[in-house]
Amino acid sequence: MRPTMSRRRLLAAGSGLAAAAAAPSLTGCGAALAGDGADPDTLVVHTQLGTTATGSGTYLSAVADFHRENPGLTVKNLVNGDDLAQVYETSRLARKEADVVMVNLYDKTLAWTDVGATVDVKPYLVDWGLHERVLPEALREWTDARGRVRAFPYFGTNWPVAYNTRLLERAGVGAVPTTGDELISAAHKLRGKGIMPVTIGGEDWTGQKLLAQIIQTFLTADEAVHAYTTGDFSTRAARQGIEYFVTLRDAGVFSDKAQGLTSDSMFTQYNTEKAAVESAESSALAQVPADVVKHTAVGGFPLTAGAVQPHPTALRTYTLIAFWISPNGTKKIDAVEKFLRFMYRPETVSRFITEAGRDMAVRSTTLATRFPLVADATRLGDKVSQVVLPDVHVPPTANQPLITATSTAFTPGTSAARVRAALEAAYRSS
């Protein structure tokens, strides 16, 4: 990915030459439906919901309800998956970007408000009376160092560890492991029965998150923020965390060839009971088959001697899909207001919880009763120690190299020193 300053110049470019150069790429990326500001009665929403993403059905149904309530206003969805950020940046270069963008705060999107690709929504959030609907912790995560709110928070996630108790019992493991020694012992017993222990996508974001979680066994929150902001893993605590990870890996705790597995591989192994443990965010917990749900307990990742955390660890964040407003969207702000007021209604928010098992960054008393693992995760409370999700701290230029370094970390035989070197090298990439 380009360095930040290069992207700043890219997104700020406004000449006809730049727009013309971008046009073929715009169409090729599937962004032909991006907004052009010409139709004030059409609101273009660029979203990751609309295909197989959890909550897509609920979102499309909510949009249909919005149309029935607002017959003079049309919402046109432009749907992309993991490439949404790249497609949006290309369309922004051509000044053809959508009016509203629904995407996570992660990687490229961290710089959008700073470079003018999207706008500070704080004035709208307050003026529309939606400020009090947002959970305080979610508002903090979406507010940048200059006090700007990058987007209207919407989805959050709990990220505990799921344990298949039926498989543990089959292997002779009497209880969910809470220490590293217990986890290693359980891994040996599970492998003796032909069952993979902890499944993880060591080649993608799931592996990156679990590695960060394990390293934080020895890191305070401030120390974790420092490490993932600067790429400095040289402290004694960070080195201890890396060494703990390597000990677990070399003891056979993770699935075979974890360094080449993806999130899809992880979900498949756990959901088909080929593996006994997975680190699963709530949207994944909502997809666990009913028969496996009956034998799944959620908790934290086991600790080891000298840990600074008082309880097994878990992740939680409120930086999943939110509503960003683009410069084009400010030209249709009345339509944007109608749409966001509708999406923030308690009954609309409740639908995502009850129908899709989504965790929300918006206040709600609704429980995901149809998704017991999601509900169980919300009730963990102080039974787990919440550690820092690195997403908002990792510089955008380091994100993809850090995932590559994660694959190196999960490769058997890689020493703790080499894992540390790979992590630090990711921050020197451009």
Walk along the chain (430 residues) in steps of 10 and give the mean pLDDT of each run. Answer: 37 33 32 58 95 92 97 96 93 96 94 96 97 96 96 96 98 97 98 98 95 98 96 97 98 97 96 97 94 98 97 95 97 97 98 95 94 94 94 91 96 97 89
Contacts of 194 (CB under 8 A, 6+ apart): none
Q: How far is CA 107 from the centre of its chain?
A: 10
Kindly give the residue spans of alpha helices, DSSP state H, lying in 143-286. Answer: 165-170, 180-192, 205-215, 221-230, 236-250, 263-271, 282-285
Please state which CATH number belongs to domain 158-317+375-426.
Answer: 3.40.190.10
Going from N- to C-terminal start, the domains of the chain cover 4-157+318-368, 158-317+375-426
Report how far apart the first and last C-alpha atoms of the chain are (Å, whole number): 7
pLDDT at 34: 53
DSSP 325: E
Query: Do 158-317+375-426 and 4-157+318-368 have the same topology in CATH?
Result: yes
Ranges of H-type helices in 309-393:
333-343, 346-356, 372-378
pTM over 0.85? The answer is yes
Sheet holding 296-299, edge to edge: 196-199, 275-279, 161-164, 296-299
Q: Which CATH number does 4-157+318-368 carry?
A: 3.40.190.10
Nearest to 332 by CA among 80, 57, 138, 73: 73
Given this model, what pLDDT does residue 214 score?
A: 98
The Cβ of residue 381 has, within 10 Å, a number of other Cβ atoms equal to 8
